Amino acid sequence: MIEVSIDNTFGTFRLKMDFSFGPGLTALFGRSGSGKTKLVDAVAGLEQISQGRIVINDQVLLDTQKGINLPPEQRRIGYVFQEARLFPHLSVKRNLTYGMALLPANQRRHTVEEIVDLMSIAHLLERYPATLSGGEKQRIAIGRALLSSPRLLLMDEPLASLDAIHKEEILPFIERLRDETGLPIIYVSHSIEEVIRLADTMALLSDGEIAAQGTVEDVMSRLDLHPLTGRYEAGAVINTVVQGHDDHDGLTSLGCAAGNFLLPRIYVDLGSKIRLRVRARDVSLALDKPNSTSVLNVFKGVITQISPMGPSPHVDFLIDIGVPLIARITRRSCNELKLRPGSTVYAMIKAAAIDRRNTGYARTNPIDNGDENDSGDETHEHLH
């Protein structure tokens, strides 16, 4: 269990929060300027905090009341920065072993071979950072942090400075890291796609405070948080299991409590647990069951909540179709259809609107407290 409580003013910006989280990957999500980096810097000991307390599994790193403030080098917290921050004068191999070498041998949790294997970097060991691509650098940076045997790993937008292709290259490694090391991870991001793909739980940051915290599914289905999660990106996150593939039509069927979702073929094994995001703007509503329609995904449901009517031309609905679904339609349609909480509606989602980027692997093994987990993880081999 990791507890963080901070009240500190940086110039005109106040960081004030009190939150705790367990093992697994916790996403810190928020707009730029919401205080995400300040928070992880404070946890790492890179920012001086005037009032606060940080505890990792009963080990006190900071307690301003008791005058405890461990310097960064004694906190044993791994930090992967947005820019890899490799040591340019050292070879990849010496970058990797820099932190490890400072640790007594009996406290090292990984061998170089293990990490080189996990991150697939064996062919880079003799190179120097200046000759590596952005994605390669970031993999080295992750490996370097892991080899210092941290108690907690901080990742501050590790993909933000990479292009789409290199992002796709790194994501599987972060998934492996999440599933195979059992290390608690704080993952800072402003990309909802990354959060959905990687996070077990998420905390929503706004103006230096935690606005909401919980499982990704719960936080994303709260209508009141849409101004913070981003109006454009708002949408429900649904846990599903792969039911089948239709190679003839190139479709994949994902099952959940609402029934089956069809979407363009994704290359994952049957039975894999997949987290699916359905953007609110991709959902349309009808009062009667549509008979002749191109839309493949039609679910009957009941409106449970409507966002407050404002000057915005849109209205957001929370609909229970067996799982929570969010729909965004115009205010005019809402008035014409006389939609109210309790109304029965048919929600329609074009299969074509859902793509690979809106799906992510849910963790296949249960989270337990930091033990090396079992090898029942048959899916990660097929991640791409």
Partner 1 sequence: MFSPMESEAIWLSVRVATLATVFSLPFAILIAWLLARVSFPGKIILNAVVHLPLILPPVVVGYILLVMLGKRGVIGQFLHDVLGISFAFSWQGAALAAAVMAFPLMVRAIILSLDGVDRGIEQAARTLGASPWKVFLTITLPLTLPGLITGCLLSFARSLGEFGATITFVSNIPGETQTIPLALYSLINTPGGDDGAFRLMIAAICLSLLALIASEILAKRVNKTLKG
**β-bridge pairing 251-256 and 324-330:** unpaired
98 lines the binding site for partner 1 (CB under 8 A)? yes
Which residue's entry shows tokens 């998934």? 175
Which residues have C-beta within 8 Å of that of residue 148, sequence separation ≥ 6? 76, 78, 98, 99, 100, 102, 103
- CB distance 2 to 26 below 8 Å: no
Select the span of 22-30, 85-93, 171-179, 263-271 touching partner 1 (CB under 8 A): 85-93
Nearer to partner 1 by Cβ, of 132 and 325: the residue is 132
- Which residue of 20, 33, 51, 89 would you call a contact of partner 1, by CB under 8 A? 89
- Which residue of 21, 81, 187, 299 would you call a contact of partner 1, by CB under 8 A? 81
- Which residue of 128, 230, 286, 295 would you call a contact of partner 1, by CB under 8 A? 128
Burial (0-12, 13-18, 19+ Cβ within 10 Å), 79: buried
Per the structure block, which two tokens stand in for 43? Answer: 């946890």
- CB distance 244 to 291 below 8 Å: no
Look up residue 379 and give its DSSP letter: S
- CB distance 345 to 301 below 8 Å: yes
Select the span of 97-105, 196-204, 231-239, 298-306 touching partner 1 (CB under 8 A): 97-105
CB of 56 to partner 1, least distance (A): 14
3-state secondary structure of 187: strand
367 lines the binding site for partner 1 (CB under 8 A)? no
Look up residue 281 and give its DSSP letter: G
Select the span of 12-20, 23-31, 81-89, 332-340 touching partner 1 (CB under 8 A): 81-89
Number of residues that bind partner 1 (CB under 8 A): 29
Nearer to partner 1 by Cβ, of 59 and 312: the residue is 59
- Which residue of 11, 50, 65, 71 would you call a contact of partner 1, by CB under 8 A? 71
Integer angstrom CA distances of residue 103 from 72, 97, 143 = 14, 10, 15
187 lines the binding site for partner 1 (CB under 8 A)? no
- Which residue of 1, 13, 18, 72 would you call a contact of partner 1, by CB under 8 A? 72
102 lines the binding site for partner 1 (CB under 8 A)? yes
Count, residues in the chain: 384
Look up residue 7 and give its DSSP letter: E
10 lines the binding site for partner 1 (CB under 8 A)? no
CB of 296 to partner 1, least distance (A): 49
144 lines the binding site for partner 1 (CB under 8 A)? yes
- Which residue of 76, 139, 166, 277 would you call a contact of partner 1, by CB under 8 A? 76
- CB distance 116 to 96 below 8 Å: yes
- CB distance 311 to 276 below 8 Å: no
Pairwise CA distance, residues 264 & 164, whole Å? 20
Nearer to partner 1 by Cβ, of 140 and 319: the residue is 140
Pairwise CA distance, residues 143 & 99, whole Å? 10
Nearer to partner 1 by Cβ, of 72 and 341: the residue is 72
CB of 197 to partner 1, least distance (A): 25
Nearer to partner 1 by Cβ, of 145 and 339: the residue is 145
19 lines the binding site for partner 1 (CB under 8 A)? no
Nearer to partner 1 by Cβ, of 112 and 241: the residue is 112
Per the structure block, which two tokens stand in for 302? Answer: 């009941």
The upper half-sphere exposure of residue 10, i.e. CA atoms within 13 Å in the direction of its Cβ, equals: 17
Nearer to partner 1 by Cβ, of 177 and 349: the residue is 177
Q: In what order do the strands lie in the sheet with 2-10?
A: 13-21, 2-10, 51-56, 59-63, 68-69
- Which residue of 11, 67, 88, 311 would you call a contact of partner 1, by CB under 8 A? 88
Select the span of 38-46, 224-232, 245-253, 319-327 touching partner 1 (CB under 8 A): 38-46
Nearer to partner 1 by Cβ, of 102 and 165: the residue is 102
Pairwise CA distance, residues 212 & 29, whole Å? 10
Select the span of 123-131, 192-200, 362-370, 375-383 touching partner 1 (CB under 8 A): 123-131
- Interface residues with partner 1 (CB under 8 A) are 44-46, 71-79, 81, 83, 85-89, 98-99, 102-103, 128, 130-131, 144-145, 148
